[in-house]
């Protein structure tokens, strides 16, 4: 009898992860601001709290997304399933690092520049751009490539 309860709970939790995680990420991403060019401080400051909340929510959601994909392919045979399982390992480590550094660091920099003079705020914006274009974090970096091949024009 306990085995049946465990199986039902496990199946229920599996469905929530597989179906609920992509839905939750989709909802969060609808709220994600899009920048089409190098922004001014004023453009960034307007949605800094929203930006931080989104990127903090993405931390566990992207981990759950990788788990959802893994659950879908864990018992499947073949090369494609094996590659998918391996790719999820890279995604978890590198994309979450990439998105967290860019999103959270950007939000913290912009939030802390609120009381600075305009010329110093412009310097903070340049720092944000440099993080996105950094060969360590953004642009064409190992982290961005291994995390999902995010092209530079998708960063800002």
Which residue in 59, 72, 54, 61 sits closest to 98, CA to CA? Answer: 59
Please give the Cα distance from 142 to 15 (Å, whole number).
33
Whole-number average pLDDT of the chain: 81
Sign for the pseudo-dihedral over CA of 43, 46, 49, 54: negative
pLDDT-based confidence at residue 156 (cuts at 50, 70, 90): very low
Query: What is residue 140's predicted lDDT score, i.e. its pLDDT?
Result: 61
* Prediction pTM value: 0.75
The whole-number pLDDT of residue 155 equals 46
Q: What pLDDT, on the 0 to 100 scale, is given for residue 1? A: 47
Query: Quick one: what percent of the chain has pLDDT higher than 70?
Result: 78
pLDDT surpassing 50 at residue 153: no
Between the alpha carbon of residue 67 and those of residues 26, 61, 111, 117, 135, the distances in Å are 16, 10, 32, 45, 29
Question: Among positive and negative, which fits the CA dihedral 133, 135, 136, 139?
Answer: positive
> d(Cα 105, Cα 60) in Å, to the nearest integer?
17
Spatial separation of the C-alpha atoms in residues 42 and 60, rounded to whole Å: 29
> Can you give the pLDDT at residue 97?
82
> In whole angstroms, how far apart are CA 75 and each of 15, 85, 89?
16, 10, 16
Q: In the chain, what are the domain boundaries? A: 2-154
Q: Tell me the three-class secondary structure of 13-31, residue by residue.
A: HHHHHHHHHHHHHHHHHHC
Q: What's the pLDDT score for residue 141? A: 58
Tell me the pLDDT tens digit for each residue of 9-46: 688 899 999 999 999 999 999 998 877 677 778 888 88
d(CA 68, CA 26): 14
Higher-confidence residue: 146 or 156? Answer: 146
Please report the DSSP string for 102-150 in residue order: HHHHHHHHHHHTTTS-HHHHHHHHHHHHHHHH-TTTSSS-HHHHHHH--
- Per residue in 71-127, pLDDT (tens digit) is 999 889 999 999 988 888 888 888 888 888 788 988 999 999 989 999 999 999 888
């Amino acid at each position: 009898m306990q085995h049946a309860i465990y199986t039902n709970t496990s199946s229920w939790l599996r469905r929530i992860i597989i179906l609920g995680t992509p839905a939750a990420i989709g909802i969060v991403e609808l709220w994600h601001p899009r920048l089409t060019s190098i922004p001014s401080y004023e453009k960034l400051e307007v949605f800094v709290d929203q930006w931080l909340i989104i990127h903090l929510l993405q931390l566990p959601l992207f981990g759950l997304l990788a788990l959802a994909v893994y659950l879908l392919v864990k018992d499947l045979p073949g090369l494609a399933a094996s590659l998918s399982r391996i790719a999820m390992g890279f995604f978890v480590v590198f994309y979450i690092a990439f998105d967290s550094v860019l999103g959270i660091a950007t939000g913290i920099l912009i939030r802390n520049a609120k009381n600075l003079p305009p010329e110093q705020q412009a310097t903070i914006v340049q720092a944000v751009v440099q993080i996105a274009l950094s060969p360590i974090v953004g642009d064409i970096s190992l982290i961005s490539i291994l995390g999902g091949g995010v092209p530079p024009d998708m960063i800002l």
